[in-house]
Amino acid sequence: MIGIFGGLVSLQMRTEETSMKASRHIAVGMLLASVAAAIGLAQLQTVRAQSRTRAETSAEATKRIVSAAQALLATLDDAGRAKVQFPFEGPQKARWSNLPSGIFQREGLRIADLTSTQRDAVRTLLTTALSRQGYQKVEAIMQGDEVLRQGEPANGPGGGRRGGRPGGPGGGVNFGKDQYFLAFLGTPSMTQPWMLQFGGHHLAINLTMGGSQASMTPSLPAAQPATYTIEGRTVRPLGAENDKAFALINALDNAQRSQAILPYRVADLVLGPGQDGRTIQPEGIRASALTASQQAMLLELAREWAGIMHDAYAATRMAEITTHLPDTYFAWSGPTTNGSAAYFRIQGPTVVIEYAPQGGVDHIHTIYRDPTNDYGARFASK
């Protein structure tokens, strides 16, 4: 099989394709800016609206995701359906972690237990529910766990066995791309709220849907190793997050840095697994104190998390984050030279993002939350 369940296929080609598309988006943006000067804001808005007519709407996206979920269910027998299905309200909702199997017990369908047809159906569901960039990120995280399982060199001495945990058979801890679990909370529906939950070591995707609305918080995309080589290609599952953050902190002047950099060290996630409902005081520099270009860099950094889910939902999410940008903070802890281990946080009225290296640059935890809409709280209770 092709993809996360049959090997990492043409990841570099897809990465290059993504880069080419990003360049085209930049060029289009520059063109629209020129158009704005010539025809005015109102006409520019019309041009933008017309450019979106071919994009899939959130209602259409929901329909395709529900259809893919139902197609997966059709491949399962009664025992399989019993494993994958949970009540929408219940303990399964908070049953996610960055820890590997053998330390943390997950419930649901385990990839290792599925037939090739069922694996195909899971892959179709994930590629439908997530953006192309989001699926590539998930695939790269899982392939990194396969590097851990095989104990292959990832990035220098020590190989794939990070943190002293046994990576081989009989060690009591299970790594690898087959050790990921899928669960449905509630019945996949076009109208009623339900959740697609997918995760394993260093990955927890919690996508709550309700009609044409969707929330992917809380979710935990992480990486260990953060850099590895496969078939001669270097893969960095969270490379864009790292590079964009260092670019932003180094774009600040001295006065801005003095506000952004925290006077103490942050070593791990503050609002990670098990911290549902907890709130913290915003720290760092307020986005209103940033220049327009720095604000754009902050938004592009946030997009690395908000853009994991399907583009139709991600667009709405980014519009929401942009609306609250003046009240959003950027905080930093650690060195400011790229290649160093540094923590950062983006925190606004509807978003909390944390990036936390674990003792070095090759083991990264991140968390993505919305204090107003974790688990679809704003629409799932209606």
Task: Assign 356 a pLDDT band (cuts: 50, 70, 90).
Answer: very high
Task: Assign 12 a pLDDT band (cuts: 50, 70, 90).
Answer: very low
- 228 and 250 both lie in a single domain: no
> Is it the case that residue 186 has pLDDT exceeding 80?
yes
> Is it the case that residue 171 has pLDDT exceeding 80?
no
| Cα radius of gyration rounded to whole Å, the chain | 21
3-state SS, residue 285: strand
Tokens of 136: 């590539």
The answer to whether 278 touches 321, Cβ cutoff 8 Å, is no
The string of pLDDT tens digits covering residues 74-84 is 999 999 999 99
- 188 and 281 both lie in a single domain: no
Which domain-ending residue is among 180, 208, 233? 233
- 244 and 201 both lie in a single domain: no
Total structural domains within the chain: 2
Task: Assign 5 a pLDDT band (cuts: 50, 70, 90).
Answer: low
Q: In Å, how far are 58, 141, 252, 285 from 124, measured between CA atoms? A: 18, 18, 42, 41
Q: In the prediction, which pLDDT does 24 show?
A: 41
- 75 and 201 both lie in a single domain: yes
Tokens of 209: 């849907």
- Answer whether residue 157 is part of any domain: yes
Q: In the prediction, which pLDDT does 324 show?
A: 98
- Answer whether residue 252 is part of any domain: yes
Residues 329-346 have a mean pLDDT of 98
Residues 16-32 have a mean pLDDT of 41
Q: In the prediction, which pLDDT does 343 show?
A: 98
Q: What mean pLDDT is reported for the chain? A: 86
Q: Percent of the chain beyond pLDDT 90?
A: 79
- 115 and 222 both lie in a single domain: yes
The answer to whether 294 touches 285, Cβ cutoff 8 Å, is no
- 317 and 211 both lie in a single domain: no
Q: In the prediction, which pLDDT does 172 show?
A: 78
Q: For residue 188, which of 75, 77, 57, 88 has the smallest C-alpha distance?
A: 88
Out of 63-67, 101-105, 300-304, pick the least confident.
101-105
How far, in Å, CA of 241 to CA of 257, rounded? Answer: 19
How far, in Å, CA of 24 to CA of 16, rounded? Answer: 12
- Answer whether residue 30 is part of any domain: no
How far, in Å, CA of 190 to CA of 192, rounded? Answer: 6
Q: In the prediction, which pLDDT does 60 show?
A: 96
The string of pLDDT tens digits covering residues 126-135 is 999 999 999 9
- 188 and 223 both lie in a single domain: yes
> Is it the case that residue 45 has pLDDT exceeding 50?
no
How far, in Å, CA of 361 to CA of 225, rounded? Answer: 9
Q: For residue 243, which of 22, 84, 6 has the smallest C-alpha distance?
A: 22
Q: In the prediction, which pLDDT does 53 show?
A: 37
The string of pLDDT tens digits covering residues 321-333 is 999 999 999 999 9
Which domain-ending residue is among 179, 199, 233? 233
> Is it the case that residue 68 has pLDDT exceeding 70?
yes
The answer to whether 201 touches 134, Cβ cutoff 8 Å, is no
Residue of higher predicted confidence among 48 and 358: 358
- 228 and 338 both lie in a single domain: no
Number of H helices, E strands in the chain: 11, 14
Task: Assign 168 a pLDDT band (cuts: 50, 70, 90).
Answer: very low
The string of pLDDT tens digits covering residues 248-284 is 999 999 999 999 999 999 999 999 999 999 999 999 9
Q: How many CB atoms sit inside 10 A of residue 45's CB?
A: 11
User: pTM for the full model?
Assistant: 0.84
Q: In Å, how far are 69, 73, 187, 212, 316 from 310, measured between CA atoms? A: 15, 21, 20, 12, 10
Tokens of 229: 């080589």
- Answer whether residue 44 is part of any domain: no
As to burial, measured by CB atoms within 10 angstroms (0-12 exposed, 13-18 middle, 19+ buried), residue 128 is middle
How far, in Å, CA of 328 to CA of 100, rounded? Answer: 33
- 207 and 332 both lie in a single domain: no
Q: In the prediction, which pLDDT does 46 show?
A: 37
The string of pLDDT tens digits covering residues 93-126 is 999 999 999 999 999 999 999 999 999 999 999 9
How far, in Å, CA of 184 to CA of 206, rounded? Answer: 10
Name the one residue in this structure whose structure tokens are 């697609």. Answer: 196
- Answer whether residue 34 is part of any domain: no
How far, in Å, CA of 44 to CA of 35, rounded? Answer: 7
Q: In the prediction, which pLDDT does 3 show?
A: 53
> Is it the case that residue 50 has pLDDT exceeding 70?
no
Which domain-ending residue is among 218, 233, 248? 233
> Is it the case that residue 370 has pLDDT exceeding 90?
yes
Residues 28-53 have a mean pLDDT of 37
Q: In the prediction, which pLDDT does 345 show?
A: 98
The answer to whether 277 touches 307, Cβ cutoff 8 Å, is no
- Answer whether residue 185 is part of any domain: yes
Amino acid at position 351, single letter:
V
- 137 and 251 both lie in a single domain: no
- 109 and 244 both lie in a single domain: no
- 272 and 168 both lie in a single domain: no
The answer to whether 174 touches 68, Cβ cutoff 8 Å, is no
- Answer whether residue 24 is part of any domain: no
Task: Assign 10 a pLDDT band (cuts: 50, 70, 90).
Answer: very low
Segments forming the whole domain that contains residue 88: 56-233
What length does the chain have? 382
- Answer whether residue 359 is part of any domain: yes
Helix ranges restricted to H, 151-291: 239-251, 254-260
The string of pLDDT tens digits covering residues 204-243 is 999 999 999 999 999 999 999 999 999 999 999 999 999 9
> Is it the case that residue 298 has pLDDT exceeding 50?
yes
